[in-house]
A and B are shown apart, each in its own frame.
Chain A
Amino acid sequence: MLLDLVQNTVDGLAVGAAYGLLALGFTLIFGVMRRLNIAFGPSIMIGIFAGAWLHAEWSVGMVPVFLAVLAGAVITAAYVERISFAAIRGDAALASMASSFAIWMQLEEAVARVFPGRTYGFPTFDGMPMIEIGPVLLRPEYLVMLVTAAALVAALQWGLAHTRFGLELRTLADRPEAARVSGVNVARVAFLTFLLAAAIGGIAGFLIAAADGQITPKIGLWATIKGLIAMVIGGLGSLRGALIGGLVLGVVEANAQWFLGAAGREMTTYALLFLALVLLPAGLAGRTEAGARAEAERRL
């Protein structure tokens, strides 16, 4: 029982790291634009299908597949940004959300036309040995997830603190009107942030697909939902919170799956979301309520 708990927690942390990356993508876009891009998951799906197609047609290795996923996700995100965000006024958050929903449907329909089957194979990391830590087993693809997520977050933190683009991004997240008077090119920074988020999401999607070995067009819906839930649990607009939210979601899901079964896992996930909203409206990374209110006022 205790060993199960430990094993589930290890597995959950790995999957949770990938959730954290999805949430990070959402958070970057939300933080900079104050708008939700619910076509985020479907953009990743396009990338994943591009990678799967490349693998099936040309039986290429993991590196080209990875690059195809990344390129597919980023190019699709650029399309979403132009149509649903750049073309719509910044204060019309709902219009952008509805528009990105429409794009989502469009992308899903397009994939369903081109790939009419239900599931498709995705290449996996073959030939890597299982890692044993005492009685606990760590799947090698999970180790890859954990290491990649940690490295990405570290790189992102560094970039935000030390690069010019990172500083511009932070000014926009912190106080958009002040960013404007300081001469920040808001449209350009928003666009690049969108692409950055898609790249992070693409990496997460690649890792998840490679761990599962198969994909369906529903992976877009799945990625949007997991990313959104992890972001809300962690607290809207906080990068650290997004990551913590992802890890918590992963660990809780893995244990619920083991002890309660698949239906129990779904119920536990939504119960967790509900609890997070009621008990910690500012999220686990918790800005104080006064801070959140001041922020809300600022945005009005």
Chain B
Amino acid sequence: MTTRPEIKCPSCGAPHTLSNPGIVMYSCEFCKSLVYWDKEKIINAGTVAALPEGFSRLYRGATGTLFNKRFSVLGRARYAFGRGFWDEWFVELHDGKTAWLSEDDHEFCLEGRIDGQLQIDPALLKPGSTLAVRGEQFTVEEVGQTRCLGIEGDLPKVVSPDESYRFADASSVDGKYSLGIELDAEKPTVYFGHWLKYASIQMDDEGEDWR
């Protein structure tokens, strides 16, 4: 039997069980405080931007099947850009691995961070411009400034509400792959993903209200 660690909210004292060792931040379900920790202590990031319930196919605590793997939705972060927002859903797979499902206009892509150096010149990232990554040709669809609107549930990284960075979104020219580029640091952070068809995700509880 595995005992999952429990943390007490520094603001209200409510207990919170961590289901995955990769989690470093959560939004307290009771007082909505954002809580994260480092080696020495647990820190309260303040009562800001705990997201309300979302109404897409995914929701916190949902279970389902993705490419024959069972998954559970642990949390999400929402980012705003000029013409709306998108959600990054953090999911845990039954084998203990984790993944990000990025949702824009209720369309999902399964993303993973690309390690290593990628030579990307931010100045060349404009809508319609092209770049090659992992042997695929990508077209930039959108470039803009984004900021985090808030989080819900558990996350594997510390997201600072109101953190802001430039981004570029691209799709492979055949429409199969996605590319998310964060231009916040000295070198860009790049996420490579697969666009998912509706049937690729099977939720245990699809709900009856929008059928």
Q: Do A and B bind each other?
A: no
